[in-house]
Amino acid sequence: MQTVESEDGTTIAYDSQGDGSPLCCLHGGGTHRFWDPLTDALAEDHRVIRPDRRGRGDSGDGPTYSIEQEIEDCCAVLDAIDGTPVLIGHSFGGLLALETARRRPVRSVVAYEPAYLVGEYRNEASLSETIQRHLDDGRPRAAAKAHLREVIHGGDVPQFEAWLKEWPGWPKSVTFVENNLRMDRALESFELDDTLEIDAPALLLSGSEGPQHLRDSIRVVDERLPDSKFVEFDGVGHLGPITAPNRFLDAVGHHLEKSR
């Protein structure tokens, strides 16, 4: 892993694979390892850069937290690499990709269900309160489940416990429950701007089985971007990049070909 110092002095770690023009993959939950199933394919034509978000993986952390600091972390990574990058982000990483592209020159952006909250959902969002209540009661697993249920499935789902038993990220994801709490709290107060001025084409991806609030918000993002294309994968959920990797890679490949 290589490291770079962010604006507030926090050490941000990232790995690099392949040669060619830079492609920076920004994860949502977990660490940069989210992208493992896709990295080899992406690295055939690009130098793939995968940072760990602050407080996760090999990156450091700071005494305070904000979405702006996470954006500064991404900017620090881009400033440390050669070339104008393509940004690919999933969930919170999709939000970071779009917001970073407003501050640094990029070749294009791909965002899968970026984690903006809009409309009534944002006004009524209380996930952070639920997580905090579970943590106050000494129940970190219940807190982690509340986050996953809402973020990945969009609320109550009848087969959630069965899905959780089969999901390879459980129970390791409990490790990030405090990080998820601060992220969810910050997202609940983060407002999507009326215009998203990005001087690059954007590909917005979603799954028909993803959380409804993210499917709603990505359409708002599409309306506010000057140059974007929206694609929905039928039968795919929030974890589409890794549950439907071939469809994801095909969509990204076509987008990058047109963006040259």
- Does the pLDDT value for residue 207 go beyond 90? yes
Hunting for tokens 């390791």 — which residue is that? 172
* 225, 196 contact by CB (below 8 A): yes
- For residues 258 and 249, give the distance between their C-alpha atoms in angstroms, rounded to a whole number: 14
- Output 174-179 pairs: Cβ under 8 A, ≥24 positions apart: 174/140, 174/141, 174/144, 176/29, 176/30, 176/56, 176/144, 177/131, 177/135, 177/140, 177/143, 177/144, 177/147, 178/135, 179/53, 179/55, 179/56
User: Tell me, what's the pLDDT at 141?
Assistant: 97
45 Rama sector, left if φ>0, alpha if ψ -120 to 50, beta otherwise? alpha
Q: Is the peptide bond before 211 cis (omega within 30 degrees of 0)?
A: no
User: Tell me, what's the pLDDT at 158?
Assistant: 86
Among positive and negative, which fits the CA dihedral 159, 29, 107, 226? positive
Q: What is the mean pLDDT of residues 167-189?
A: 95
- 2-116+192-259 CATH, one of 3.40.605.10, 3.40.50.10890, 3.40.50.1820, 3.40.50.2000: 3.40.50.1820
pLDDT band of 257, cuts 50, 70, 90: confident
Total-model pTM: 0.96
- Does the pLDDT value for residue 259 go beyond 90? no
DSSP 136-166: HTT-HHHHHHHHHHHHHHSS--TTHHHHHHH
Q: What is the mean pLDDT of residues 86-105?
A: 97
Q: For 114-155, how does the pLDDT look when each residue is reduced to its tens digit (9 = 90+)?
A: 999 999 999 999 999 999 999 999 999 999 999 999 999 998
Q: Start-end ranges of CATH 3.40.50.1820 in the chain? A: 2-116+192-259
User: Tell me, what's the pLDDT at 55?
Assistant: 96
- For residues 190 and 96, give the distance between their C-alpha atoms in angstroms, rounded to a whole number: 12
- Does the pLDDT value for residue 43 go beyond 80? yes
User: Tell me, what's the pLDDT at 157?
Assistant: 83
pLDDT band of 222, cuts 50, 70, 90: very high
